[in-house]
Amino acid sequence: MLKEVYPQCAGLDVHKKFVTACRLTVDPQGIPHTERRKFSTMSADLEDLAQWLAAGHCTHVAMESTGVYWQPIYNILEGRFELFVVNAQAIKRMPGRKTDITDAEWLAQLMQHGLLQRSFIPEPNQRALRDLSRYRLRLLQERTRFANRLAKVLEGTNLKLSAVVSDI
């Protein structure tokens, strides 16, 4: 039998509108307990999730990096628990059954036995800087697309502005 590395942990199966949570705990007599609950992804319900996890004395929480849906959950739970955002492909390669019904429990079991490797999630300041720089890049790309569309329209009307001006 595998040793329990994190006896008080949880697994979260993240979807767009809801999160299925499985909390694995071990009581003082060494008896394991499994509890599952479903939470909405609205902020108030994510706070309820955090309180439910804290009430079970969870120290570690694992979730798959499903699109962008994991980010609000990460933001709410960050600083309260040791968070593991794991690659979904890595989970699928792990031996064992994995169905939609038991995703959260499977993640919790892998977490409990220390079989998950977390993805790199930068610090909040670095995440904010990344978001700003990516947004700036998108704005610059949009400006370039607009200038190209304008040049095409002008060319179509026989105005050869791009022949005499380098930057429309």
- Residue 151 belongs to a domain: yes
Residue 79 belongs to a domain with what CATH number? 3.30.420.10
In angstroms, rounded to a whole number, what is the distance separating the alpha carbons of residues 52 and 25?
12
- Residue 95 belongs to a domain: yes
Per DSSP bridges, beta strands 60-64 and 9-14 are parallel
- Clarify whether residues 98 and 131 are in a common domain: no
In angstroms, rounded to a whole number, what is the distance separating the alpha carbons of residues 24 and 47?
19
Verdict on whether the full-model pTM lies above 0.85: no
pLDDT attached to residue 31: 87
- Residue 4 belongs to a domain: no
- Clarify whether residues 106 and 28 are in a common domain: yes
Q: Are 84 and 108 in contact (CB under 8 A)?
A: no
- Clarify whether residues 108 and 128 are in a common domain: no
pLDDT < 70 positions in the chain: 1, 93-101
pLDDT attached to residue 65: 84
Q: Are 16 and 42 in contact (CB under 8 A)?
A: no
Structural domain including 146 reads 124-164
In angstroms, rounded to a whole number, what is the distance separating the alpha carbons of residues 15 and 56?
23
- Clarify whether residues 33 and 93 are in a common domain: yes
pLDDT attached to residue 102: 81
- Clarify whether residues 151 and 100 are in a common domain: no
pLDDT attached to residue 160: 82
